[in-house]
Structure 1
Amino acid sequence: MTHARLVDTAAPSAPRGVVLVLHGGAARRKPMRVSPTQLSVLRMVPIAARIARAAKGELAVLRLLNSTRGWDAHHTPVDDVRWALGEVTARFGPDLPVGLVGHSLGGRAALLAAAEQPVVSAVALNPWVYPHEGHLDLTGRQVLLVHGDDDRVARPTSSAAVARDLARTAHVSYVTVEGGRHAMLRRHQVFDGIAAGFTAATLLGRPPHGPGAAVVERVLAGEQWLDV
Structure 2
Amino acid sequence: MTTGGPQPALEYRAAPGPTQRALAVFCHGGTVASVQPPRERALSLLRMRAIEQFVHGAAADRGVGTCLLRYRVAGWNGAAADAHADVRWALQELRARHGDDVPVVLVGHSMGGRAVLRAADDAQVAAVCALAPWTPPGEPVGHLRDRTVAVLHGRGDRWVPEALSADFADRARQAGAHIARFTIAGGHSMVRRAPVWHAFVRDVVLAGAGLAPWRADLRRALADSALAVPL
- TM norm structure 2: 0.88
Choose from 152, 155, 158 the match for 1:152. Answer: 158
Q: Deviations over 1:142-200 (max 9, x none)?
A: 101110100000011111110011112211000011x2210010111111111110111
Whether the 8 Å CA contact 2:111–2:134 is kept in 1: the answer is: yes
- CA 1:205–1:94 in 2, change beyond 3 Å: closer, same or farther? same
Unaligned runs of 5+ in 2: none
Q: Which deviates more, 126-135 or 57-66?
A: 126-135
| Structure 1 residue ranges, 4+ long, deviating more than 6 angstroms after superposition | none
**1:227 partnered with 2:219:** no
Identity between Structure 1 and Structure 2 (%): 34
Q: Which amino acid in 2 is paired with 1:170? A: A
Q: Which amino acid in 2 is paired with 1:95? A: D
Whether the 8 Å CA contact 1:24–1:70 is kept in 2: the answer is: no
- Deviation, 1:81, is 0.5
**Structure that is richer in helix per residue:** 2
Q: Which deviates more, 119-128 or 130-139?
A: 130-139
Whether the 8 Å CA contact 1:138–1:170 is kept in 2: the answer is: yes
Q: How does 1:201-220 map to 2 (within 5 A)?
A: 201-207=207-213, 213=215, 215-219=217-221
Measured in 2, the distance between the counterparts of 1:223 and 1:165 equals: 11
**1:25 partnered with 2:30:** yes
Q: Which residue of 2 aligns with 1:176?
A: 183
User: Matched residue of 1:25: which SS?
Assistant: coil
- TM norm structure 1: 0.89
Q: How does 1:27-46 map to 2 (within 5 A)?
A: 27=32, 31-46=35-50
Q: Deviations over 1:26-80 (max 9, x none)?
A: 256x521123332211111121122223324311110001110021233511100
Measured in 2, the distance between the counterparts of 1:221 and 1:32 equals: 42
User: Matched residue of 1:137: which SS?
Assistant: helix
**1:16 partnered with 2:21:** yes
Report the aligned-residue RMSD.
1.9
- CA 1:75–1:161 in 2, change beyond 3 Å: closer, same or farther? closer
Q: Deviations over 1:71-106 (max 9, x none)?
A: 123351110001001100011111111110000100
